[in-house]
Structures are given as structure tokens and as C-alpha cells.
Structure 1
Amino acid sequence: MRNKTKVVTGVVRLSYAHVWEPHSVQGGKEKYSVSLIIPKSDTKTIEKIENAIDAAIEEGIGRFGGKKPKKAALKLPLRDGDVEKDDAAYKDSYFVNANSITAPQIVDGNVEPILDRSEVYSGVYARVSISFYAFNVNGNKGVACGLGNIQKVKDGEPLGGRSSAADDFESLEDDDDDFLS
């Protein structure tokens, strides 16, 4: 039977990628996490996510006291980048924040493991498996997104203003070693 709450995205862009080491947000439990930037033009992925959210609500009725809440009353994971983010990377996009306490498997286009941590970063393009589940904690009710695995598709401009060493420095020539004198 197919898992109705699991989605493998189309090509998305990774942002706030903490996929190699777990990261704590505001002193909370350390988790692997990433923000998936989904182009609004990728209607197939958006529809799959909306269907998975609906399935998570249905499966989570027990967490909501046995009755299905109105969707508008829930905290939902699919958010509008044009409304919620003042960041050019999120323009004309939706986004989903996904996290997990277990490390994602990270693979290349041939499903071979990527071991070089510099290969997957905020700004890279990837396909990602994610799962949705209902929660009801301390009066906060909604649907959250769990991070599965990541398949790198292609490089992208790094996000967050990080530059490479090659961008920052020029090669030192052998005849310029008088700076040590």
C-alpha cells in the first residue's frame, strides 16, 4: 500500500541546509533540517504536497481529539515565499521546512552516496523525500514535515552570501614572497 503522506518532490532548492550535522533552533533538540524552496510553477509537486497534508490530517484525527479540525485552524507546512519571506530566493515560490532526528541519506544522480560535504549546501538543487504527520502539542495543532532523503540534481548559486576561497583570494606567485621579510 502506498504511503499517502510521503512525497518525493520535483526539483527544489535547498535553503538553511543543516543536512550533514544536526542543528539546534533556539536551544531545542538538535535536528537535521532544510527549507525546500518549491517554484510555484511546479504544480505537480505542490499538488502532491497538498494531498499528503490532507492525508496526514485524516490519519491524525486521533491526535485532534477524534474529530477532523478545519484546515484553516491548523498550522500547515506549505507556506508562500512571496508572503512570508523578504528574500529573492523565495520569490515566486512556496516553501516547506522539513526536519528529522536521523540523518538523511544524500545521493547523486546515480543514487551513489555523496561523501564530500561541500557538494550539498544552501543553494543546491535537489529532489527530496518528505513525509507529513499531524501534531497536537501544548495547544498547537497542525501538520509537520519530516525530512527523508536527498538526491542532488545540480549545483546552484550558494545562498546566504557565502563566497568560495577562489572568489576571495588571488593565487600567490612565487616571486611575491617578500611579504615575509
Structure 2
Amino acid sequence: MTRRDTNLAQNCLARVDRPAHHQPAATPVSHPDCRSALIQIVALHRSLSQTRNAAGFIQGSLLADRKRTFWTLTVWADQADMRAFMTSGPHRKAMPKLLGWCDEASLVHWTQSDDAVPSWNVASDRMRAEGRSSKVRYPSPRHGDLTYAEPWTRGGLPIRRRTDARPA
């Protein structure tokens, strides 16, 4: 039986990442926030491109959730390929910035018997039961215990391996 490694990551994009006592009641979008959002979108695009080309990547899904939260669900040939992806290229470069970009971030990894991308409901259940939170500078009250809002599960976009990338 083939074993496949599956990874789920939940990250925010362009959230206001300041402690509540520094946060005005109403904040218009300012130039620095627009610049930060643009930098984050470019980082997301580069990481997705890296994913599609990564050795061992089989398939995945990207879910844009409410409040600029993004979920990535990826299936890999094995854990070594997944770790090689995580610790190289645009993904590695973006991850330290997560500290300041997000107020919630978490991940979970498991092994499954097929290449299918699990449903978002299954992935969210796995995250709550087996996941761990990532370090962020200004965590929300729900961050540490993974009591984030249930993800909206409609509208996930497939992430497909490039046809000219090295097969899994």
C-alpha cells in the first residue's frame, strides 16, 4: 500500500497584527498596510509556484477563508520531499515573516493511504485534534488552543503539479 504525507497549514494574510491597545477603533487602509499586503501576496504567489514545481508534490488545494485567512492543503510523495520544500526557496524566505503578518497560524501533518486531497472538513478536524500553533507576535485569543472559526469550505482552488516538474 502506498503511503502519502499530507500537510495542512492555516495562515492569515494582511491582518492587522498589533496588540489591541495599539489598534484604533477604525483604521483606514494606509500606505504601509497596502505595501505589506502586496508583499504578502507576492510571497504567497511565489510559494505556490514553488509548490507546483517541487519534487514529490502530488496535488493540493488553496482555500481563501474570511478575514484574509488562507489554508493550504498539500499531498506529498513522502515526508522528505515535503520537508525539502518547507526549508527551501520562497517558502523558507516567507515563513519568518509569518511572526508579524499573522495573529493565527497553525499546521498539522499526517500520513494517508492514497493521493486524494482530503475534504476541508476532514482537514479542519485533523488540525484541531492533532495540529499545533505556529509562533506569532500578537496571537489572537483563539491561537494557542486552535479554536479558530470553522473554515468556509466552499471555493477551494486546486493546486496542481506542473506537468514538466519532476514526478512524485
Decide which structure has greater strand share. 1
Decide which structure has greater helix share. 2
Bigger RCO (CA 8 Å, 6+ sep) = 2
Q: Which has the larger radius of gyration?
A: 1
TM beyond 0.5? no
